[in-house]
Structure 1
Amino acid sequence: MTGRRRTSLWDRARYLFDTRLARSTGTLLGWLALGCLVVVVPVSALLVWMDPDAPRSLSGRLTAVWRTSAETLRLGVATGAPPRMLLSVLLGLIALLCVSTLVGVITTGLGDRLAELRRGRSTVLERGHAVVLGWSEQIFTVVAELSAARGGRGGVVAVLADHDKAAMEEAFAATPGARGTRLVCRTGPLTDPAALALVAPGSAGSVLVLPAEDTDADLQVVRTLLALRPLLGGETGPPVVAAVRGRRYLHAARLAAGSRGVVLETDLTTARLLVQSARRPGLSAVLRDLLDFAGAEFHLLAAAPEAVGLSFAEAALRFESACVVGLLRANGRPVLTPGPETVLGAGDRLVVVAHDDTPVLPTDCRALVDPAAMAPSAPGPAGPTRVLLLGWNRRAPLVVDLLRRTARPGSVLDVVTDPDDVTARTPADAPDDSGPLGIAFHVGDLAGPETLRTFDVLGYDSVIVLGPDAGAGLRRPDDRALLTLLMLRSREEEAGRALPVVAELCDHRSRTAAPLGRAFDAVVRGELTALLMAQISQNPALAPVFEELFATRGGALRLRPVGRYVRPGREATFATVVAAALRRGDYAIGYRAHVPYAACRDDGIRLCPGKSERRLWAAGDEIVVVSATPAPPGPGGDTRGGVPRTRRETEGSDAPAGGSPEG
C-alpha cells in the first residue's frame, strides 16, 4: 500500500486561502487588515526602539509606534484619549474609501476608453488607401497582393470586419506577405453605414468586398454594396470589386455595385480551375504566377503610332520582353486572341504579359524565328476520358456540369461520396447520362484504402478531390481532403507511376502540409478570385480583359505539350514557339520546364521569357498559351462560359457557364 504524500506548507497555505480567505469580500478585507497589522506594528516598534532620538518613556515610545503605524496605513496620527484616536482611525478609513472609489472610477473609465480604442472605433483619416470589407480566408491573399502591388513602398490597407480588432491584428501578424504596408483594422457590422464610414471608403483608392463562409454571405455582400452607395459619392468615386459565392445573388450584387463595380463569382471560378487543373495538372500554379503582383502579369500598352495598320501577327513579334495576347479597342471592347490578320487601329491598346521591372520597348524579333524547328502538324482531338470525383460540396454540381459540357463522347465520370454526406446527390437524382459523359454515383469511405482499391484509381485519367464546405460544422474542413490525398499518394507509391490528382483546399496553409505527388495539384478555394480582385482593384481597365480570358469566346489559358509547336529535342528560341503557336491560333506567354523530381508544382514555370532566349526543348516541357480554339458547345450550343463574367452587359442568359478546360 502506497503511503500518503506529505502535504507541503505551500499546499496548506493555498488550501487555507480557498477555505477561509476567499469566502467573501468582507472576510478577505478582515484577513488583509490583520495581515497588515501583524507586519506593520512589529516593524514600527523595531524602528522606534532602534531610534536613538526616540522618547525614553514606555508611553512615549508606544505613541511613536502608533504614529508610525498610522502614517504607514494612512489612518491618521491623532494622539490622546482613546476616543480621539478611534475617531482618527474612522476618518482615515473614510478617506481611504473615498480615494479608492475615485481611483476605481477613473481606472474603469480609462480602461473602457482604451478598450474602445483597441476595438477600433476611430475614423481612418487616410486618402488613396485600400479598403477591404469582410473577413474570410481570402483576406490574407488580398492584403498580401495589395501590399505587393505597391512594391514595398508603404501605403495603408484598412480592414473592416465584424471581428475583434486585436484578433484580426494577431492573425495578420502571424501571416507573412503584408510587410511594408500599414494595416488599420476596425470592428463593426458591414451593413451599417456608420461603421463603413470608419474606414473612409469615399476617399479610398479602391474598395474590396469579400464574402464570408456564412449561409447568407452573398446576401450580406449585396447589403454591404447598398450601404456603400451613399458613402462613395458620384461616378468618380473609387472602383469597387466584390465577390459572391453563387449565382443566386450575382445579378443583385451587380445592380448594387453600380457602373463602377465589378462582381466576381467564387464558386464557378474555383470549379473551372479544378476542371482545368484536372485536365492539365500544374495550371493552378501558372495562374497564381500570372495573377499575382510578383513576376509577370497582364498590362495594357498603348499602340505606338507606327504600329497602327500592322496585323496582329506582326505586332506579336515586335516586343522582346512582352507577350502580346489581345487588344483593347478604343471603344473599350476587349479582343483576346484575335485572328493573326486583325489590324491595329488608332486608339487601340495592346494586352500584353510583361514584368513590372522590365521596360517594354519595340524590337523586331522576326529574325529570331527558326521555321525548321517548328512541329509539322498539330495532334488530333483527344479521345474519351475517365474522371473520378471524390467528395461532394457546394461546387461539385458546377464541376460535374463543366465536365459534362466539355466531355468527348464515351467519357465516364464516377462520383464517390462519404456515407454521412447528406449534401451529395444520389443515383436517383443523377443527371441524364445519355450525352457524351456517363455519370455514376457511389458511396464509400474516402479515408479508407479499400474504397480507392475498389475503384482502381490508377485506371482514371484524372482524380478530383473535394472537401466539405467550410461552413459545414467542421473546424478544419481540409482534414478529410488531406486524408484522401494521403491514401492516393500511398496508391501512387505502391504502383510506382504518377497519378494526376487535383484537390480543393480551404486554407492556404494546408497546401504546405498536403501530401502531393509528382502529378498532384492543389487549388485553394477562393484564391484565384482573391488574386483577380486585387488585380482589378489596382487597374479597373483590366476587368473586361480578365472576363475574356476566362470565357471561351475570347480565349482560355492552357498548358499545351511542347510537341504541338516545336520539335522535342531541338534547340530553338522562344520567338520560334510564339510564331508556331500563332499558326495554330494560340498565343504563347511562357513555358513550364519538365522537372522530374520537382519539390512543388511551381518548379520550372517561367512566364514571359525573352524572345531571344534559346533552350533545348524536352518532350516533357509544356507551353503556357492563351488559346482561341473553341470548345465543344454544351447543350443548346452555349459556349459563353464566362468566368468570372464580371460586367452586367454580358448577362445575356442565366445558363450555367460552360467553358473549355481542356489542356
Structure 2
Amino acid sequence: MTQQHTTSLRLRLRYRFDHLVSGGTTALIGWLALACLAVVVPASTVLVWSDRSAPTTLSGRLTAVWVSVGQTLKIGGAVGSPIYVLASVSLALVALLFVSTLVSLITTGINRRIMSLRLGHSTVLETRHTVVLGWSDQVFPVIGELVAANANQRRSAIAVLAPQDKVWMETEISTRVGDSGRTRIVCRNGSTTDPIELCRVSPHTAKAVLVLPPTGDGGDAHVVKTLLALDAAVPGPGPGEAVAGRGQAVVVAAVRDSRNHVTARLAAGPAGHVLCVDDIVARLLVQTARQPGLSLVYSELLDFAGDEFYPVDAGDLVGRTFGEALLSFATSCAVGLLHGDGSVALNPDPGAVIGPADRIVVISRDDDTAVREDPARLASLVDEEAIASAGPRPAPAERLLLLGWNRRAPLVIEQLDQYVSPGTTLDVVALGEYAATHAARAVTAARSRLEVALHTGDITDPLTLAKLDVPSYDAVIVIGETEHAAPDAPGALLPAAPDPDPEGRADDRTLVTLLHLRAIGDAAQRELALTTEMSDDGNRLLAPARGGADFIVSGRLISLLMTQISESPYLAEVFEELFKAEGHEFHLKPAADYVRTGSEVSFATVVESARRRRACAVGYRLRARSATAPDHGVRINPDKRHRIRFSEDDWVIVLAES
C-alpha cells in the first residue's frame, strides 16, 4: 500500500527552495537572475503603459521598458545599435560584479575580524601586565586581589588565557569580581599548553605570569605542561627571562599534590615559584589547630585590603641594630631584613646590624605609611614596670582529634609530630576501606612525639561523633573526605566512575559534620576549638560555626599567596619560612607572658617585652571580642602609642621561632 504525502504547500515550497540553494553558486545566480527578470520586466511594462507621457508607438514603449529594466538592475539600459547595447550591458555587468565582490570581501573581512575578536584569538599588546593562565574558581579571587593591588596605579592590565569562550569569561569575571577600577581585564581563548596560543597574551612582555591549577586529578600535569609551554613561548634560560630590559617576569604556579612539586619546580625554572597546595594547607591546619585564631591573622596579612608585608629603605637606620628598628616605626611593625642578595631574614637577632644594602621588612597599611619616628621618643612610651618577668610557659601534652581523611592527612600527622610536645595523642576517624588502609600506613609510621590511634567511622554520623566525647579534646581538625573508596578496588567488575566535583562533595560532608559538632558543643555548653579545611570560600559562609572560627580555605589561600608573590617576589621566601615548623612563624601567646594584665599599657611596651624574648610583636587578639565581626578581636599592626588593657584570656601575636 502506497503512503501519500500530505505536507502543506509551505513545506513543499521550502523543500524546493532548500534544493535550489543546495545546487551551488552558479545555479543560485541563474535562478536569482530569472526571478529578478520575472519581477522587474512586468513591473517596468506596467509603469511604461500607465505613463501618460510614454511613447505612443509599440517600439518606443518597448524601448522605454528596456531603459527602465536597465536602470533598475544597474545595467545602464543604453539605446542604440545592438553592438553598442551589448557593450554597454557587458561593462555594466562587469562593474556590478566588481562592486558586489568588493562589498562581499569587505563584509567578509569585517565579520571575520569581529568573530576573531569575539572568539579571543587576537594578540594582547600590553607591557608590564599580569598574565593569568588557566580557568578555575581561583581565577576570581586572583583577579580581585590583583585589582586591589593595582588600585593606586594609573594604568594596569590583566590578561587571562583559558580554553573558554571569551565573552563568557568576561561576563563571569564582571559578575563575580565586580568593578575593576583602573585595571583593564582582557580575556583570550586558547590552550595554555600550546606555545603558539600562549603568545596571544604576550607573556614575554608581562611583569608576572600566574599559572592556576585546574580542577580535577589531572590538574598538576596540566600545570607542568603549561610551564613547559611558557618556557617554549618565552625563549631564554627559563620562563623568567628578562623582559624588555625591565627586569624579570615573575612566574608563580601552584600544584595540588606534593608528589608533583619537584617536577613542577623543574618545569618552572630557576626564576619560577611553585606553591604546593597540600603542604601549605597541611602546615596551616596544624599551626591553626594549636593556636585558634591564627587563620584570621594570615587572612589579614595576605589580603591586599588589609596590612601587608612591605620592604622599606633603612635610611638613617643603616649601621644601627634591628632591635632599634623595632621601635622606629609608630604605625608599622618591623619583622625582618631583606638583604641586597635577595635573601630574607625574619625576626633576626635584635643585635643584628642593618647593612647599607639591607631593606627593612615591615607590616604596614601601605608602602607609604611606613614612616620612621625617633626611637627615643617611642622608647619613652615603654613602661618597665608593666613588662612581665616570668619565663615562657612549658607546652603541655595535648589530646587532638582528626575527623576525615584525604591525601593531605599524612602530611597533617607529620607536621603535628614536629610541633607538639611529647606525649600528645591524636585520634583519627576515617571512613571506608581506602581511607582506613592509607590511614593505617600513616599511623604506623615512626613518630617521636605524637601517638596516633585510628578509628573507622562516618564523621557525618552523629552516633559516631557521640562516641568520641568530642568536648574532651583540646583541638579538633575537620578535613574534607575526597576519597571514599579505591578507584581500582579488588573484585570490582568496572572501575568506579570519577566524581566530577570531589572537592564540592567533600565540603558538603564537612558542613554536615560541623552541624553535628555545633550541636555537641551546645549540649556540653563548651566552645569547641575547631579548625576546618574547605575548598570553596562560598561554603565557608554557610558553615555552622562560631564567629571567628578557623577555616583554611585552600582555593582562596593559594590565590592570595600567588598574587602576593606576583607583586613582591621576595615574599616567596617569607612564606616558605612562615609555613615550616623549623622556621620563624606567627604565634598567639598569652598576653600575661609579656605584660601585666588588668592595667593599660602602650603597645610599645608589648613590642619591647617581645624584643627581650627575641620576638617581634605585631598585634593582639582580645577574647571578649572573638565572636564580634569583622575582626573577631584580632588587631594587626596597632599604633605603638595605642594603649590597651589586657586580660588573662587575651593573646599577643608575635613572630618568633617557637
TM-score, normalised by the number of residues in structure 1: 0.75
Q: Which residue of 1 aligns with 2:78?
A: none
1:43-442 mapped onto 2 (5 Å cutoff): 111=111, 113-153=113-153, 154-176=155-177, 178-213=180-215, 214=219, 216-227=221-232, 228-230=234-236, 233-234=241-242, 237-245=247-255, 246-310=257-321, 312-356=322-366, 357-364=368-375, 365-377=378-390, 378-390=392-404, 392-419=405-432, 422=434, 425-426=437-438, 428-432=440-444, 435=447, 436-442=449-455
Per the TM alignment, residue 431 of structure 1 is displaced from its structure 2 partner at its CA by: 3.5
Per the TM alignment, residue 18 of structure 1 is displaced from its structure 2 partner at its CA by: 12
Contact 1:334 1:548 in 2 (8 A): no
1:30-49 mapped onto 2 (5 Å cutoff): none
Percent identity, aligned pairs only? 40
Q: Which residue of 2 aligns with 1:475?
A: 501
| C-alpha distance in 1 between matches for 2:539 and 2:456 | 26
For the structure 1 residues 389 and 352, does the alpha-carbon distance in structure 2 shift closer, same or farther, using more than 3 Å as the test? same
TM-score, normalised by the number of residues in structure 2: 0.76
Per the TM alignment, residue 588 of structure 1 is displaced from its structure 2 partner at its CA by: 0.9
Unmatched tracts of structure 1, length 5 or more = 1-14, 30-39, 54-69, 75-98, 630-663
Contact 1:339 1:585 in 2 (8 A): yes
For the structure 1 residues 293 and 189, does the alpha-carbon distance in structure 2 shift closer, same or farther, using more than 3 Å as the test? same
CA deviations over 1:89-111 (Å, ceiling 9, x no partner): xxxxxxxxxx9999999977765
For the structure 1 residues 489 and 363, does the alpha-carbon distance in structure 2 shift closer, same or farther, using more than 3 Å as the test? farther
Per the TM alignment, residue 191 of structure 1 is displaced from its structure 2 partner at its CA by: 2.4
Pick from 546, 561, 575 the counterpart of residue 532 of structure 1. Answer: 561
User: Greater RCO between the two (CA within 8 Å, min separation 6)?
Assistant: 1
For the structure 1 residues 107 and 423, does the alpha-carbon distance in structure 2 shift closer, same or farther, using more than 3 Å as the test? farther
Q: Which residue of 2 aligns with 1:608?
A: 637
For the structure 1 residues 114 and 532, does the alpha-carbon distance in structure 2 shift closer, same or farther, using more than 3 Å as the test? same
CA deviations over 1:227-250 (Å, ceiling 9, x no partner): 244586548553323223234343
For the structure 1 residues 217 and 355, does the alpha-carbon distance in structure 2 shift closer, same or farther, using more than 3 Å as the test? same
Per the TM alignment, residue 183 of structure 1 is displaced from its structure 2 partner at its CA by: 0.5
Q: Which residue of 2 aligns with 1:512?
A: 541
What is the letter of the counterpart of residue 577 of structure 1? V
| C-alpha distance in 2 between matches for 1:467 and 1:119 | 39
Give the alignment's Cα RMSD to 1 decimal: 4.5
Per the TM alignment, residue 141 of structure 1 is displaced from its structure 2 partner at its CA by: 2.0
CA deviations over 1:293-329 (Å, ceiling 9, x no partner): 222111112222454133x222211221121111223
**Equivalent position SS for 1:174:** helix
For the structure 1 residues 163 and 381, does the alpha-carbon distance in structure 2 shift closer, same or farther, using more than 3 Å as the test? same
Per the TM alignment, residue 486 of structure 1 is displaced from its structure 2 partner at its CA by: 3.9
For the structure 1 residues 446 and 549, does the alpha-carbon distance in structure 2 shift closer, same or farther, using more than 3 Å as the test? closer
Per the TM alignment, residue 221 of structure 1 is displaced from its structure 2 partner at its CA by: 4.2
| C-alpha distance in 2 between matches for 1:338 and 1:23 | 85
| C-alpha distance in 1 between matches for 2:517 and 2:204 | 56
Contact 1:211 1:218 in 2 (8 A): yes
| C-alpha distance in 1 between matches for 2:483 and 2:204 | 35
What is the letter of the counterpart of residue 137 of structure 2? E
| C-alpha distance in 1 between matches for 2:451 and 2:151 | 49
Q: How many residues align?
A: 587
Per the TM alignment, residue 546 of structure 1 is displaced from its structure 2 partner at its CA by: 3.2
| C-alpha distance in 2 between matches for 1:544 and 1:402 | 19
For the structure 1 residues 395 and 24, does the alpha-carbon distance in structure 2 shift closer, same or farther, using more than 3 Å as the test? farther
Per the TM alignment, residue 383 of structure 1 is displaced from its structure 2 partner at its CA by: 1.8
Q: Which residue of 1 aligns with 2:64?
A: none
Contact 2:406 2:479 in 1 (8 A): no
| C-alpha distance in 1 between matches for 2:596 and 2:305 | 31
| C-alpha distance in 2 between matches for 1:597 and 1:306 | 37
Q: Which residue of 1 aligns with 2:607?
A: 578
1:596-635 mapped onto 2 (5 Å cutoff): 596=625, 598=627, 600=629, 602-629=631-658
Contact 1:302 1:349 in 2 (8 A): yes
**Equivalent position SS for 1:368:** coil
CA deviations over 1:318-369 (Å, ceiling 9, x no partner): 2211211112234443221122222333322222111215241233211111
